[in-house]
Amino acid sequence: MTKRSKGLSLVAALLFGAAALGSAPHAASADGGTCGGKENPCPLQKWMKVNIGTPMAAGDLAAVSVALEKAASMSPDPAWGEWAASSKAGAAAAKKGDLAATKASCKSCHEKYKDAYKEKFRARLLP
Ligand code: HEC
């Protein structure tokens, strides 16, 4: 492998990594709903990608922090107490530039609420 092609494959790997971050977690419209998947993402799915996934991939934690502050108020169900808590914890971590703690907040909300959200609230318009 030449030096040049090695550089190019590194760039390709980075681009691929960013794309995978944005699209990995769910299969295209397997639920037969009217939204979901790449062509027609659901409201929150799209919001997450644009406002959180993209700045995350770019390492722009300041923007991620602002978006997570907003996400705190987007809980679809008042009984989902940890929704706001995990968003706010993530926003605070991102503000400090703590990538690991920021990612932990994504994970805790996704693990706890993502499936339920997709099942019950997927087509819901954002507040
Ligand atoms: C308070 C809850 C919560 C937090 C915090 C959160 N997310 Fe999400 N996220 C969701 C939910 C719910 C969905 C599913 C939306 C859907 O598919 O309709 C989602 C979907 C996504 C998607 C779209 C994936 C797809 O299926 O296309 C991306 C990308 C994403 N989140 C990135 C992040 C990142 C990165 C963070 C942390 C910096 C984060 N999210 C923090 C709740 C959260």
Answer whether residue 45 shows pLDDT above 70.
yes
What's the mean per-residue pLDDT of the chain?
Answer: 83
Pick from 57, 55, 73, 48: nearest CA to 21: 57
In terms of residues, how long is the chain?
A: 127
Residue that has been written with the tokens 């990594």 in this structure: 17
- Which pLDDT band, with edges at 50, 70 and 90, does 31 fall under? very low
Residues 92-124: tens digit of each pLDDT: 999 999 999 999 999 999 999 999 999 999 999
**18: burial class by Cβ within 10 Å (0-12, 13-18, 19+)?**
middle
Pocket of ligand 1 (CB under 6 A): 22-23, 25-26, 42, 44-45, 48-49, 52-53, 56, 64, 68, 71, 83, 86-87, 90, 102, 105-106, 109-110, 113-114, 117-118, 122
Interval 78-91 mean pLDDT: 97
Q: What average pLDDT does this structure show over 7-15?
A: 49
More confident residue, 103 or 127: 103
Burial 60-83 (b: 16+ CB within 10 A, else e): ebebbbbbbbbbbebbbeeebeeb
